[in-house]
Structure 1
Amino acid sequence: MGGRPGADAVVCASDSLAVGALLGLADAGAAVPVIGFDNTPTAEALGFSSVEQRPEDVAEAILHLLMGPTGDVVSPRRVESGSAHALITPELVVR
């Protein structure tokens, strides 16, 4: 390889970008794993791994932020920087 380090994998910000990376790598004749983000049906159909943030977890976090822990009513509130957030734990779907 002439002193150039090779890539061990390519991690993409979306499954759409992963498809482009797969095409580019195939065109270059490189066998490098590609990982996408969003775990779309495209990732499943093409058989590459992808990171998934489950929509039901995102929806639950949004409702909790909007309606509070009781879920009774949407209550207006003054939001200060960093005070309203939720951490969604992603899952790597390996293919």
Structure 2
Amino acid sequence: MAIADEAFEGINRAIRNTEKNLSNARKLFESYLNSIFTQKGDRWEEKKLGDIATLRNGLNFTKSNKGIAALKELKQSILQKAFTGELTADKGEK
């Protein structure tokens, strides 16, 4: 039984370490996102969504707006660029 106890203790330790690493990664990512949106650089522009897209029912784009990304895709793009370092707080996209 001692071998099994050691194995389970090792597994539990690995789980705790993984959970701690995940928590730290989330905190780091949240901090990075916060820095992007609070340190507005020279090229930062704020616009209302209605000024750059035609909305229907508050959510749907018309078929004629082929060049405008859907909000979900835009959000994913921002997150991906933040993770890869392609998006910076002071310069926008690289």
**Same fold (TM > 0.5):** no
Larger radius of gyration: 2
- Greater relative contact order (Cα < 8 A, sep 6+): 2
TM-score, length of structure 1 as denominator length: 0.25
Q: Calculate the TM-score normalised by the size of structure 2.
A: 0.25
Q: Which has the higher strand share?
A: 1
